[in-house]
Amino acid sequence: QVQLVQSGAEVKKPGASVKVSCKASGFTFNIYAIHWMRQAPGQRLEWMGRISVGNGNTKYSHKFQGRVTITRDTSARTAYMELSNLRPEDTAVYYCARFIMVPTAYSGFDYWGQGTQVTVSS
């Protein structure tokens, strides 16, 4: 069955970096993009960026440009999101989700990871 399994919770100090992984199984990995969103307590979902698994092309939200890097390892069927120069306001649950890259088959974010809590505190 389709699964996206994320790495575990992280606690970081301000100024540090965090790298969250998203391991995919049960589907053809390279016809999808993996997107990353985050949700601070009581806040809306915030789109951060995505990577096209097939060719590695990335798109980022302007808000995170320069601080976020999304990569993938196709042999490991895993995508990664690294956020640098962490601030307390980066405390949030971070989600990965898949979106098919075949335009005629577009749907939405049909499978999500379980979420990874990242806490930034001194």
Partner 1 sequence: DIVMTQSPDSLAVSLGERATIYCNSSQSVLYTSNYKNSLGWYQQKPGQPPKLLIYWASTRESGVPDRFSGSGSGTDFTLTISSLQAEDVAIYYCQQYYNFPWAFGQGTKVEIK
Q: List contacts with partner 1 (CB under 8 A).
A: 35, 37, 44-47, 59-63, 95, 97, 99, 106-110, 112-115
Q: Quick one: 37 or 81, whose CB is closer to partner 1? A: 37
Q: What are phi and psi of 115, to 5 degrees?
A: 100, 145
Smallest distance, Å, CB 70 to partner 1?
13
Instruction: Please report, for residues 27, 30, 60, 106, the alpha-carbon distance to residue 120 in angstroms, rounded to integers and kept in the order given.
Output: 34, 33, 22, 35
Smallest distance, Å, CB 117 to partner 1?
11
Smallest distance, Å, CB 3 to partner 1?
12
Q: Quick one: 74 or 114, whose CB is closer to partner 1? A: 114
Q: Quick one: 13 or 63, whose CB is closer to partner 1? A: 63
Sign of CA dihedral 72, 80, 47, 106: positive
Smallest distance, Å, CB 108 to partner 1?
4
- Residue 66 class from Cβ within 10 Å (0-12 exposed, 13-18 middle, 19+ buried)? exposed
Tokens matching residue 63: 């808000």
